Amino acid sequence: MMPGSLESIQYLVSSKEPCGIETPSKDYSSTEVSSVVATCENVEHYKQMGRIDPSQLLHRMLPLDKKHSFWETQPVEQYHDRGKNTEDEGPIAPLRSVAEVRTNPYKLPKHYEWCICDLNCTHTMNEIFNLLSNHYVEDFESMFRYNYSKDFLQWALRPPGYFPSWHIGVRVEATKRLVAFITGIPVNMRLHSMCMPMAEVNFLCIHKKLRSKRLAPLLIKELTRRVHLENIWQAIYTAGIVLPTPLVTCQYWHRPLNSKKLIKVGFSQLGLGMTMGRTIKHYRLPQKTFTPGFRAMERRDISAVARLLQQYLQQFVVAPELSEADVEHWLVPLNNVVNTYVIEDVESHNITDVCSFYTLPSTVLGDQRHTALKAAYLFYNVTTKTPLSQLVNDLLIVAKQSEYDVFNVLDIMQNQSFLQELKFKLGDGHLQYYLYNYRLKEPLSPGDLGVILL
């Protein structure tokens, strides 16, 4: 989810979820739910808040009798279950056999039909791009909207072993117009020491004029059915809103790279007592990277990068099991999609460190001067020799030189360690991680997560 002004999202359960649902605006926004954390004014206060179990924050700020008519029928942890520690860790619903899964799609409202969206078809890709560009995630004030490029969508939705049948659309029968979309991709996820196949769900998008037709639950159920047909029974997903029940709540931080533009479009504002000139000077970056051996990743680095990532991710409670094929797909640089850099030791020529970010711009709505914000999002990083803050600072320099406007970070993994030093600003955006049909016995903190969902 987008940081800064795009944190309070209404119509979305983003990033991986056979249970992401279009949530009407009357539901609690992420800002309402996390108001205590959102009012933190400095890093130390935030860290103190971070010591509080996020589930306890949710219990304090959400009425436990709030009804979620769809989610209460799904195998997800419910609010009233959190903190009881009475259930064993593992699947919530008994695992079934594929033979028990219904073979027919769920019935849609009259005049609509299911379709599989073929990402190899240029016309279909244009339809998906246009639907997302006009109807996907935007902030409550309608100032910004995600603008996924076609290359990004191809990258995000076609990892090794992907299932074309998990790219699901809804069309108008008469015109064949694409009006709704949901996707899943397969991932091998480790929870503690248990590794299992899961689905990540993303891009749940419904045309704004059709959001009263309750298509979202049908999209979720249909994707769930197709996931089950592949003998996969769990999923992981994220949302900017609070549903039953977050695995963990994370916070967005952002580092201005083009302060003048960010302030002009309303993404940020001048600090108390600050002028534009002082603000620009405050966030000024060096012209060159610091770390010797810093270079773009190449295909010859895949094995070394995979080994580093596989070892590094073992320290987290929830993390993906990445093969060399996964690393090749997700981290080999792709222009305007993903940038990955390695540190090659100048003497041994071994790869000692890895850092990366992906590109996700946003359309600026209603501004004649600027039409887009170019945003970088921190991706996967591994340090064995170079301090993480130094690696990320080099990424900031590279992003600034490439004319990015802002660099965004979630406070997961070890990211909290460099936020203050590198002048990241605490955003008002929160991202909830969820599991479908799996319960962890103990609550997690953001630092327990080693997985990034696009």
Residues taking part in catalysis? 454
* CB-count exposure of residue 103 (10 Å: 0-12, 13-18, 19+): exposed
Handedness of CA 20, 240, 234, 156 (dihedral sign): positive
CA–CA dist 252, 193 (Å, integer) = 28
| Phi/psi at 295 (5° precision) | -155, 165
Q: Indicate the pairing of strand 362-364 with strand 372-373.
A: antiparallel
Angle, vertex CA 222, rays to CA 218 and CA 224, nearest 5: 115
Structure tokens at 15: 């990033």
Q: Up-side HSE of residue 374: CA atoms within 13 Å toward CB?
A: 11
The helix (run of H) or strand (run of E) holding residue 60 is helix 54-61
CA–CA dist 225, 104 (Å, integer) = 9
| Phi/psi at 19 (5° precision) | -145, 40
- Helices 324-331, 302-312: inter-axial angle, 10-degree rounding: 100
CA–CA dist 322, 86 (Å, integer) = 33
Q: Indicate the pairing of strand 351-359 with strand 338-344.
A: antiparallel
With b meaning 16 or more CB within 10 Å and e meaning fewer, what string describes 224-237? bbbbbebebbbbbb
Residue type at position 12: L
Structure tokens at 55: 């589930």
Query: Would you give the distance in Å from CA 245 to the centre of its chain?
Result: 17
CB 53 within 8 A of CB 415: no
Q: What's the Cα-to-Cα distance from 406 to each of 3, 242, 258, 267, 327, rounded to whole Å?
A: 10, 26, 7, 10, 25
CB 125 within 8 A of CB 150: yes
